[in-house]
A and B are shown apart, each in its own frame.
Chain A
Amino acid sequence: MQKRLLGILASIAVIAAACGGATTSSAPAESTAPGESAAATPAPPDSNLAADQILYVDISGEPPTLDPSPAQDSNSLTVLRALHRPLVYINENLEIVPSLAESWDVSDDAQTLTFHLRDAKYSNGDQIVAGDLVYSFRRLADPRTAAPYSYVALEIEGGPELLGMAGADPAPSDADIDAALDNLGVAAPDDRTFVVTLNTPATYFLSALSLWVFVPLQESWITSPGATEAANYVSSGPFVLDTWNHNSEIILKPNPNWYGEAPTLAEIHMSMSPEPAQAQAAYEAGEIDMILPVPTEDVPRVKDDPVFGPEYSEVAQLAITYYNFNNFADPAKQRYDNPGPTKNKNFRIALVESIDKVAFQNATFAGLGIIANTFVMPGIPGYDETIDPYPYNPDSAQEHMALALSELGLSSAAEIPPLKFGFNTGAGHEPRVAFMAEAWRQAFGLETDQIGSDFSVFLTQRTAGDYDISRNGWGADYPHANNQLSGLFTCGGGNNDSQYCNEQFDALLVQAAAEPDQDVQADLYKQAQRLMMDDAPFLPLRFGVTPVLIKPYVSGLIQTPMDSQVPGEHFYESIQILEH
């Protein structure tokens, strides 16, 4: 067990080490061990390619939208990644690589980014011009688009003003919005040059530019009625939307006008199976070629299976499983005046120290994962595996609990009214919550009220600050520590469901965001995490490792730790089907 974990860790180290000089100071030293989760398989010779280059995958449900600007759900993104490409892209080693932009210049103050575009065309044959990027960036920031990811435009000059208009009461007039849009720091001096001006030297912005929301959009297309239907769709990436049978199937075909190397695949068929067990069955019946993730319950069986065992692998993901403790530090939230015991630091430490994370992972995640003791994920600069202030230690847990109880003026944990332990039902969290609750009950006699709710009710109450403890998870949008920490643990942050607030921590994050030197920046993020984890504001459990099954004839796959629905979904164009 431990050995396998090390293997995965080492393979991540390989990824991190390959990230190129400056960014990898955080990578664990032993980067020579071969990893289990192969990031990329070399392309085979053309001779044994199958005649039918059709890939069958599953995207687990109808994409809510295929309009890049408002898209946010993973089954939208997995399709959009085949249809569009932004200026820069993140490769399998989490490096920033050119995509639509051939090259770029960064000004000395790191506030002006100038991109030089390729000679590229849309699927309809029109030239991709820098003006389309100006339009696309403005559309993202436009409050009338109400894009969930519009916050990534906050760093662009004029961005905060536009985002402020979104919730303004009374609503601003169209003229005011248009004027503000004109002030957004994006410009197209000529058709092949695109310039972004930032508010601050936000060094992570280049990383954020790899997001699906920053792709070129032809205004005449996206504003036309039914733009996202297959018949009208205009793409700028390696594939075109050939068919969209709603709620049933999407078929992609190569984009003849794409500027990159033409894909070998002739078609990609994407089915939509909301039930994981059915998708798993479809793989075993040979109807689909890959599945991500394999349902946890099926992992032991699949690994032991003579046929599927060899097709099984595990891929690290930029994701973390953690449980919030309510720190009750946000005056705007419910129960600020009526906090529970989790406001007490020693109490939180006792809860952390009494959880055996390895046992938790083995029992409820089929052993999959990398034990997490902090937040920034392995592979991202700022990850620090040496941070572990409160390892599993039942004796120390008792001492901390005794301290906490005396501070709270109680004689035993059994006197505490049942803690509200929130989670959402129907997503496999029940046994995990039961594991925690039973561990705390055994250790301290602490009772919990396990409140399973409908997802939306759960999110509403978690955000409102109703729970003492609640489950949580985070997946990286782009591989930068800023995306992991700010907003999640900064005072009053939108996703700060732990209600953690430490001004020193906030100041370190501001300092780090503006730091141009990547090594120094990574160190600042580590320093900030060390400070935060010392307060035990939440219970980190595991960094994601996803079980996948891939048929042996699927070749050329480039898997990244950011794949969420389909293995290799960032680089469909490299996939080939071998004879079988």
Chain B
Amino acid sequence: MATNAAVQGQIAVGTRQSAGLWSDAFGRLIKNRLAILGLILVGLLLFAGVFGPIIAPWPYQVQDLQAVFANGNKPLPPLSPNHLLGTDNLGRDLLSRLLDGARISVSVAFVVQIVILVIGVPVGALAGWFGGRLDNFLMRLTDVIYAFPDLLFIILLSVAFRETFFGKALDGLLLVFVAIGITSWVTVARLVRGQMLALKETEFVEAARAIGVSDGRIVTRHLLPNGIGPVIVAVTLGIPGAILAEATLAYIGVGVQPPRASWGSLIAEGQKYVRSEPHLVVFPAICIALALIGFTFLGDGLRDALDPKLKGKQ
């Protein structure tokens, strides 16, 4: 009896979703102050990514060596004349390099997450829903991908494709993005599969099946929306995760080609100065943290807004 009511409610919700899902969701989203903050930060990031090089006070590669020599061969500290956030040891303006790096970091964020979602969600959904041999095969494939020697792969790709458009795209970073994406969709796939496994046994799915709803419709209308929470978290965490993966690769020595810099490579370079010139690592880290805050709050807000059951609560 109670079960029936729940199923009825679920199906009713499902129907209403299709009518005004996005307008409802948007309405809920803009009522959430944190989500708005997230939206603003992400907007700023996108703005910096697109217009950063234009609003930057200096071109990213210009060196103000005389200022460095006047400062005793040391990088200029923040709030120096002409250099709001200071410079590195070549006198390159940190603010300008951060603004230029925003473009690279925004690309990392989106390219990698798109690769991950495009591969990870379908694979996970298929494996979880159909189970059996397909599940087994896809999951063993993810084992292989997990253990995949991605660093070797990146090094090889960057040598093999250096002279081509592919290798030069985004100052050599496209390869890194694709490699990070290829090796990190597995987490999302396993996550989606886990959700599928758990949800497909629930009463509302059994009920939907009983009344003859097709598999595809159940997956796309009921399972994915219900299991989307952890996926949104995975993606919002994945964005700074990808930025950090790029930083770690930069620390090892793989990634963006100088004189361009990404936030990750700025941190990796600044790490050496962490004791003497902390601004070189602090500001890039703040940028990454702000991006993370933006995506996290926006992600949380989106999840709440898209959640059909949350209507009327809060």
Binding site for B on A (CB under 8 A): 277, 295, 297-298, 300-301, 359, 362-364, 366-367, 424-428, 430-431, 433-435, 437-438, 441, 449-454, 457
Count of inter-chain pairs, beta carbons less than 8 A: 81
Q: Is the CB of B276 within 8 A of A366?
A: no
Please indicate the chain A residues that have their CB under 8 angstroms from the CB of B63 in the complex: 363, 434-435, 438
Please indicate the chain A residues that have their CB under 8 angstroms from the CB of B149 in the complex: none
Please indicate the chain B residues that have their CB under 8 angstroms from the CB of A426 in the complex: 251-253
List 23 A-B residue pairs with CB atoms under 8 Å apart, sorted by A's residue number: A277-B275, A295-B272, A297-B89, A297-B273, A298-B276, A301-B276, A359-B65, A359-B69, A363-B68, A363-B73, A367-B73, A428-B272, A431-B89, A431-B269, A434-B90, A434-B259, A438-B63, A438-B90, A449-B257, A450-B258, A450-B259, A451-B162, A453-B158
Q: Is the CB of A425 within 8 A of B253?
A: yes
Please indicate the chain A residues that have their CB under 8 angstroms from the CB of B275 in the complex: 277, 298, 301
CB-contact partner of B258 in A297, A298, A430, under 8 A = A430
- Closest residue on chain B to residue A297 by CB atoms: B272
Given contacts A364-B89, A457-B159, 8 further A-B contacts (CB under 8 A): A295-B272, A362-B73, A426-B252, A427-B253, A434-B61, A450-B257, A452-B257, A453-B159
- How far, in whole Å, are A231 and B77 apart by their CA atoms in the complex? 54
- How far, in whole Å, are A301 and B90 apart by their CA atoms in the complex? 17
Q: Is the CB of A434 within 8 A of B62?
A: no
Please indicate the chain B residues that have their CB under 8 angstroms from the CB of A427 in the complex: 253
Check B88 for interface membership: any CB of A closer than 8 A: yes
Check B155 for interface membership: any CB of A closer than 8 A: yes
Interface extent on B, as a size class? 20 to 34
Q: Is the CB of A457 within 8 A of B155?
A: yes
Contacting A at CB under 8 A, from B45-77, are 61-63, 65, 68-69, 72-74
Considering residues A424, A426, A433, which has the most beta carbons from chain B within 10 angstroms of its beta carbon? Answer: A426
Please indicate the chain A residues that have their CB under 8 angstroms from the CB of B72 in the complex: 300
- Over the window 147-184 of chain B, the binary record of Cβ atoms lying under 8 Å from chain A Cβ atoms (1 yes, 0 no) is 00000000100110010000000000000000000000
- Closest residue on chain B to residue A461 by CB atoms: B159
- Closest residue on chain A to residue B158 by CB atoms: A453
B286 to chain A, nearest CB (A): 20
Check B119 for interface membership: any CB of A closer than 8 A: no
- How far, in whole Å, are A28 and B91 apart by their CA atoms in the complex? 35
Please indicate the chain A residues that have their CB under 8 angstroms from the CB of B252 in the complex: 426
Please indicate the chain A residues that have their CB under 8 angstroms from the CB of B274 in the complex: 277
- How far, in whole Å, are A363 and B91 apart by their CA atoms in the complex? 9
B58 to chain A, nearest CB (A): 12
- How far, in whole Å, are A295 and B274 apart by their CA atoms in the complex? 12
Check B282 for interface membership: any CB of A closer than 8 A: no
Q: Is the CB of B253 within 8 A of A424?
A: yes
The DSSP consensus for interface residues of chain B is loop
Please indicate the chain B residues that have their CB under 8 angstroms from the CB of A431 in the complex: 88-90, 269
- How far, in whole Å, are A32 and B61 apart by their CA atoms in the complex? 45
With contacts A359-B65, A457-B159 known, is A437 near B259, CB below 8 A? yes
Q: Is the CB of B272 within 8 A of A362?
A: no
Contacting A at CB under 8 A, from B238-286, are 251-254, 257-259, 269, 271-277
- Closest residue on chain B to residue A460 by CB atoms: B159
Please indicate the chain A residues that have their CB under 8 angstroms from the CB of B61 in the complex: 434, 438, 441
Q: Is the CB of B258 within 8 A of A433?
A: yes
- How far, in whole Å, are A449 and B258 apart by their CA atoms in the complex? 9
Among all A-B residue pairs, the 5 with the closest Cβ atoms: A426-B253, A425-B253, A301-B276, A297-B272, A434-B259
A185 to chain B, nearest CB (A): 44
Please indicate the chain B residues that have their CB under 8 angstroms from the CB of A430 in the complex: 258, 269
- How far, in whole Å, are A353 and B251 apart by their CA atoms in the complex? 33
Contacting A at CB under 8 A, from B131-157, are 155
Q: Is the CB of A362 within 8 A of B253?
A: no
With contacts A359-B65, A435-B90 known, is A300 near B257, CB below 8 A? no
A420 to chain B, nearest CB (A): 9
With contacts A297-B276, A434-B61, A435-B90 known, is A451 near B253, CB below 8 A? no
Please indicate the chain A residues that have their CB under 8 angstroms from the CB of B273 in the complex: 297
A368 to chain B, nearest CB (A): 10
- How far, in whole Å, are A275 and B227 apart by their CA atoms in the complex? 43
- How far, in whole Å, are A491 and B303 apart by their CA atoms in the complex? 68
A181 to chain B, nearest CB (A): 40
Please indicate the chain B residues that have their CB under 8 angstroms from the CB of A450 in the complex: 257-259
Please indicate the chain B residues that have their CB under 8 angstroms from the CB of A433 in the complex: 258
- Closest residue on chain A to residue B66 by CB atoms: A359
Q: Is the CB of B73 within 8 A of A300?
A: yes
- How far, in whole Å, are A64 and B307 apart by their CA atoms in the complex? 58
- Closest residue on chain B to residue A438 by CB atoms: B63
- How far, in whole Å, are A277 and B275 apart by their CA atoms in the complex? 9
B48 to chain A, nearest CB (A): 22
A406 to chain B, nearest CB (A): 29
With contacts A434-B61, A434-B90 known, is A452 near B73, CB below 8 A? no
- Closest residue on chain A to residue B69 by CB atoms: A362
Please indicate the chain B residues that have their CB under 8 angstroms from the CB of A297 in the complex: 89, 272-273, 276-277
- How far, in whole Å, are A425 and B259 apart by their CA atoms in the complex? 13
Q: Is the CB of B90 within 8 A of A363?
A: yes
- How far, in whole Å, are A457 and B275 apart by their CA atoms in the complex? 32
- Closest residue on chain B to residue A367 by CB atoms: B73
A84 to chain B, nearest CB (A): 34
- How far, in whole Å, are A297 and B276 apart by their CA atoms in the complex? 7
- Closest residue on chain A to residue B168 by CB atoms: A449
